[in-house]
Amino acid sequence: MAVTGGLEGPLHCGKVVMWLNLPAWCIGITNLILIPAVHITVSWFFEKKVRRDVFQPDRFPLRTFGWEKDRRVYETFFRVKQWKDCVPDGAKWVGGFEKSRLRESSKVFLEDFRKETCRGELAHWVQMVFLWAFVIWNPGIAAGIMLVYGALSNLPCIIIQRYNRCRLERVLLRHSL
């Protein structure tokens, strides 16, 4: 098993050398086990081991930026309203805060919900980074597929979390008036 550097490793005698050379069957089994493990473990960790009060929705990088406040980028460019309800709420799978509907409208609940969108967003950023690390043992096209999968399985969830945070902030603003 050779360990080298570079995205697909350096060129050695005109041939690309992987960071980690594993047999194809081993790569397949490793991916089959670790892909769901990354999603579940990261979600579980953020839900069960990270306190809600750690998340500060008014601070970078979680704060809502000026260009997102009116939600137009999410509703017009991403068309989030058309597909967001098709994405499952993974928090239910790890016993977390259900974000698929607004259960109440108290200010305390809305603030908690807002922090939960931060938790969900950060969990998906971390999942994406872990999945991108799979290029270490996935050769060529498989490494590219892992990069695309990491983005496609997490960016929609990040978009939904940020969109919902914008909506919650608007409701909270009305509460404070």
**Is 151 inside a domain boundary?**
yes
Number of domains within the chain = 1
Q: What is the mean pLDDT of each run of 10 residues along the chain (177 residues)?
A: 46 56 88 95 93 92 91 93 89 74 85 94 96 91 92 96 94 83
What domain range is 84 assigned to? 23-176
Structural domain includes residue 13: no
Domain for residue 86, yes or no? Answer: yes
Q: How far apart are CA 65 and CA 83, in angstroms?
A: 23
3-class SS string, 14-53:
CEECCCCCCCHHHHHHHHHHHHHHHHHHHHHHHHHCCCHH
Query: For residue 5, what pLDDT is reported?
Result: 44
**Euclidean distance between CA atoms 176 and 87, whole angstroms:** 31
Q: Closest by alpha carbon to 152, among 123, 137, 135, 132?
A: 132
Does residue 66 fall inside a structural domain?
A: yes
* Domain assignment of residue 73, yes or no: yes
Residue 14 resides in a domain: no
Asked if residue 142 belongs to a domain, the reply is yes
pTM, to two decimals: 0.84
Do the domain assignments include residue 15? no
pLDDT at 60 (0 to 100):
92
| CA 106 to the chain's CA centroid | 28
